[in-house]
Amino acid sequence: MRPTHHHRALHLAVLVLSLLWGIMPAAPSPVGAAAATEQATVALVALGDGDRSSAPLGCGDRLAMVSVTIAPAATTEARIAATLTQLFAIKDQFHGQSGLYNALYQSDLVIDRVELQGKTAAIFLSGSLRVGGICDEPRVVGQIQQTAVQVPGVGEAVVIYRGGPLFSLAGSRAFPVTGHAISAPFYPYWERNGGLPLFGYPLTDQRVEDGYRVQYFERQRFEAHPENARPYDILFGRIGAEMARRENLLSTPPFQRQAPSLTTGCEFVAATGHALCDRFRAYWHGHGLDFNDPGVSDREALALFGYPISEAFPLTLEDGSERTVQYFERARMEIHPENTPPYDVLLARFGAVRVAAG
């Protein structure tokens, strides 16, 4: 059958549409569609040289940033994790044509989690860590921290590896009774300044709170403050004041400032308006941090306990017993007359209470 005029017109229209379809550009992606990848940077090591604008580390080395591709990340924490994953995936000792050194090439680190606290990234790692020597240790720390702080919104990074620092030159001490260990920078500081009688066992691994590396013990919270000169680079939390606030005691009469007193056996502390008397006074002056002062100086006692923030008063304790106690900025002293000296004055297990409360 001969094609009709209608058939020829239809055939021509199909031919024209086919030609147009072949030359038209592909349809654009929907507005707002996620990109397939993102760019990020990781830190490698320029041995003995590098970018002179950066601080030296290791054995006279400097860090240099290298561009990598990561999967899109919805949060800052996810972007940090994705970027570090790319860093840890580099297994060459010397990277590409740049020849930059990778101190992590023998390690197989695992990112357990990343927490962002303000502008501080807390990076918790496990897996295996192996380096070539002591020069590699600061290189590894620098590579991880500098990679993290390249992420927008991050000002500094703290790394917790298997419950402690990446490297512990001072050694560590494990306590099977609680399943935790004390490592640098808190060991041997814990041992030198009182150990088990004053602080109790470690109840947590190291963690990051308010941007600082901390660890909880039965009676105290240790805080690392690397921005301070020694001996104030390790401080104790104001856990006595914190617990008094939690227990709604700060508005009670024993916590109100008192008028100066000349009572025998007491001394008045004008800074907080409270008196130190008898056994509490002796205990305060008899214990302190070791700053190499003769005997126990007031500044050593103050660093350990802080000032008194209450008078001595009777209190029903967490175990139901009633004791005479006195609160200090960093502790609560308790009279235990059933014990022989020097154990008739004990410190509250505030660290344990704080950990249990979460």
Alpha helices in 150-221 (DSSP H): 189-192, 195-199
- pLDDT exceeds cutoff 60 at 276: yes
The β-bridge partners of 117 are 120
**Residue labelled with tokens 């950990």:** 355
- pLDDT exceeds cutoff 90 at 199: yes
pLDDT at 49: 73
pTM for this prediction: 0.82
Q: How many helices (H) and strands (E) does the chain have?
A: 9, 19
Q: Retrieve residue 332's tokens.
A: 């609560």
- pLDDT exceeds cutoff 50 at 180: yes
Average pLDDT over the chain, rounded to an integer: 89
Q: How far is CA 206 from CA 24, 113, 158, 164, 217, in A?
A: 61, 14, 11, 5, 11
- pLDDT exceeds cutoff 50 at 129: yes
**What does the pLDDT look like over 84-116, one tens digit per residue?**
999 999 999 999 888 899 999 999 999 999 999
Cα(4)–Cα(11) distance, rounded to whole angstroms?
11
Cα(358)–Cα(167) distance, rounded to whole angstroms?
28
SS3 6: helix
Which of 113, 112, 120, 111 lies closest to 85, judged by CA? 111
Q: Retrieve residue 114's tokens.
A: 């990343």
Residue 67, CB-side half-sphere exposure with 13 Å CA sphere: 3
- pLDDT exceeds cutoff 70 at 159: yes
pLDDT at 54: 67
- Confidence category of residue 13, pLDDT binned at 50, 70, 90: very low
The secondary structure element, H or E, covering residue 347 is strand 345-347
SS3 209: strand
The 10 Å Cβ neighbour count of residue 182 is: 28
Torsion angle in degrees (nearest 10) through CA of 332, 335, 341, 346: -30
- pLDDT exceeds cutoff 60 at 33: no
Alpha carbon 138 to its chain's center: 18
pLDDT at 96: 84
What burial class does residue 324 get, using C-beta atoms within 10 Å of its C-beta: 0-12 exposed, 13-18 middle, 19+ buried?
middle
